[in-house]
Amino acid sequence: MLRKDTPMLKLSKLFGHENVETTVNQYGHLVDEDVREEQNRATLPG
């Protein structure tokens, strides 16, 4: 779901977290990894 651009607030509710901060703390790094991968693809030759 994270890779399908599902909003963190929606994920938070789906996971039953009391607030979105919990979701961001638990899963935010996954979004960061996707951003880094995209940046690497954009800067690599070929």
pLDDT for residue 41 is more than 80 = no
Over range 7-22, report the average pLDDT.
92
Q: 7-37: string of b/e by CB count within 10 Å (b at 16+)? A: ebeebbeeeebeeeeebbeebeeeeeeeeee
Residue 6: phi and psi, rounded to 5, are -70, 130
The sign of the dihedral angle between the CA atoms of 23, 15, 13, 2 is positive
pLDDT for residue 4 is more than 80 = no
Q: How confident is the model at residue 12 (pLDDT cuts 50, 70, 90)?
A: very high
pLDDT for residue 21 is more than 80 = yes
Q: What is the pLDDT of residue 17?
A: 94
- What ranges do the domains of the chain cover? 2-43
Put simply, whether the predicted model's pTM sits higher than 0.75 gets the answer no
Answer yes or no: are the C-beta atoms of 12 and 19 closer than 8 Å: yes
